[in-house]
Structure 1
Amino acid sequence: MSKVIVVTGAARGIGLATARALRDKGATVVIGDIDAVAVKEAGDLLGVTALTVDVTDRGSFAAFLDEAEAAHGAIYALVNNAGIMPIGPVTGESDADARRCMDINVHGVMLGTKLAIERMRPRGKGHVINIASVAGLLPTPGLALYNASKAAVVAYTEAVRLEMLGSGVYVSAVLPSFTNTELIAGTRSPKGQKNCEPEEIAAAVVGLIGKPRSQAVVPHQVGFQTKLGALFPDRMREFIMRRYELDQVFLDFDHQARKVYDDRIRG
């Protein structure tokens, strides 16, 4: 895979695992993150170019892509991975949390997608991969803000994909289920469900670059279950939610175990 690929939010978690998987496949990888110290450490660990980027700022994002191309040549793919996940009761979320979540998770993805397409379309090739979430399809108590942001990413990605048909530029979404990263710190898994590992999401990204398609749900059976569940009547869906304890996962959680993550995303 002799392609130049940039990954945002890559200092840790899914972004870091994705950068590692792409590097191991032979891609030239550039990683970006708003945490300057952490992204430098990640870059040193992987042996790849690491840059600081604020995905909510057009100047910062454009400079990130400019620096990546100046160092390594034309970017083939952008993985929009940067995102945050505030959780808790809807009346407990602050206006600041709401604005920050939507700014990073939605506007950051939109901005990156536009900036990348502006470079890729004249070349007649490229790929934008937006990391969404199963949460974009499965509204859950205590996750309303994150649900809204990821639902927006799912819809936006599909609309842009359709707009780019025939241009040589692919646009795809990856929808992970519960994944063992800091985003789920202090929570428990839904009853009977095994969490994904970041490497599984990374493998889905690698797969999409090798064989582009509109969407990849991880694990794949959750995509089928979610689509099927959407056809059920309200009472059936509510029963399933309670049966798997999804009604409590993001409301009854360990605040202390989550404090480091919460403090960082609000910093």
Structure 2
Amino acid sequence: MRARPIGGRVVAVTGAARGIGLEIAGELLRQGALVAIGDIDEAGAKEAAERLGGGVVAARCDVADRDSFTGFLDLVERELGPLDVLVNNAGIMPVGPFHTESDEVARRQFDINVHGVILGCKLALARMLPRGRGHLVNIASGAGVASVPGVATYCGTKHAVVGLTEAIRLEYRGSGIQATSVLPGVIDTALTSGLPETRGVPKIPPAQVALAVAGVLRRPRARVFVPRRIGVLARLTAVLPTAAIEALMAATGSRRGFLDADATARAGYEQRIRDA
């Protein structure tokens, strides 16, 4: 397939005031895209845009609110032109035993991680379909094809994103619309602060995810794992018997998953997502 240039494309990235979203915005800007970043933290988004420079547009975007998300995309198109790419990156990951998780925390994860992606895809498709072009990039997780103790609801949300993205890809095949799910492993951001180490699955910098997103914009793919070894582990867990999976988890030190996360190290992140 012939590579598609990134330069000149209008790209909106949600949850981009920091972390993976900010890295994606910066990488695509360096490759010539016209970039807008949205985040529920409006001040953080504007500070990030100032640091990036290059005419980056920034605004508040609550992905769980239709009016807020619509307003963000309206601004993007007024300032930069017709939307070519939406990167649905916004997401949260509270950690703890499933049975102690409040209903409010569970709903909030689905509101942001799932309904935010659904809403973003619908709003973007309404703009892209009449033009016959566009690309939806949904940031899922390795937890979208595997399961990890300590983040059960989060795993459920990311499984939903993977399934949603594939269904959208199939439904709009031939329309000029591309849909890709990106499945990162453990990325070194605030979201993974205080998490225990898993042998064979080290934390990697968010810049690797940004490069993967740039790669699928140039050469569209249905699904991409970051790093690739996450895909190997996912395929193994899909075919191995339960006993073998349990043995693999024991060997990598992940049997308890994230249940032993350092609460002190995660306090700042957990407070921020509660206040958002």
Q: TM-score, normalised by structure 1?
A: 0.98
Show the counterpart of 1:12: 18
CA deviations 1:139-158 (Å, max 9, x no partner) are 11111011000000000000
**Alpha-carbon distance between aligned partners in 2 of 1:225 and 1:147, rounded to the nearest angstrom:** 16
Q: Which one of the candidate residues 91, 94, 101 is aligned to 1:93? A: 101
1:189·1:249 contact (CA, 8 Å) conserved in 2? no
Unmatched 5+ stretches in structure 1: none
CA deviations 1:63-97 (Å, max 9, x no partner) are 10000000111010000000000111111211111
Unmatched 5+ stretches in structure 2: 1-6
User: What secondary structure is seen at the aligned counterpart in 2 of 1:32?
Assistant: strand
- 1:49 maps to 2:57: yes
Show the counterpart of 2:3: none
Show the counterpart of 1:134: 142
User: What secondary structure is seen at the aligned counterpart in 2 of 1:140?
Assistant: coil
After TM superposition, what 4+ stretches of structure 1 lie above 6 angstroms from structure 2?
Answer: none
Show the counterpart of 2:66: 58
Show the counterpart of 1:35: 41
**Alpha-carbon distance between aligned partners in 2 of 1:219 and 1:186, rounded to the nearest angstrom:** 21
- 1:153 maps to 2:161: yes
CA deviations 1:33-61 (Å, max 9, x no partner) are 00011111101001111111100000110
Distance apart, 1:248 and its partner CA: 2.5
- 1:182 maps to 2:190: yes
Show the counterpart of 2:250: 242
Show the counterpart of 2:112: 104
**Alpha-carbon distance between aligned partners in 1 of 2:264 and 2:191, rounded to the nearest angstrom:** 14
Show the counterpart of 1:143: 151
Q: CA RMSD in A?
A: 0.8
Q: TM-score, normalised by structure 2?
A: 0.95
**Alpha-carbon distance between aligned partners in 1 of 2:233 and 2:262, rounded to the nearest angstrom:** 28
- 1:207 maps to 2:215: yes
User: What secondary structure is seen at the aligned counterpart in 2 of 1:189?
Assistant: coil
How many residue pairs get aligned? The number is 267
User: What secondary structure is seen at the aligned counterpart in 1 of 2:73?
Assistant: helix
User: What secondary structure is seen at the aligned counterpart in 1 of 2:239?
Assistant: coil
Residue identity matched to 1:234: T
Show the counterpart of 1:220: 228
Residue identity matched to 2:115: H
User: What secondary structure is seen at the aligned counterpart in 2 of 1:230?
Assistant: helix
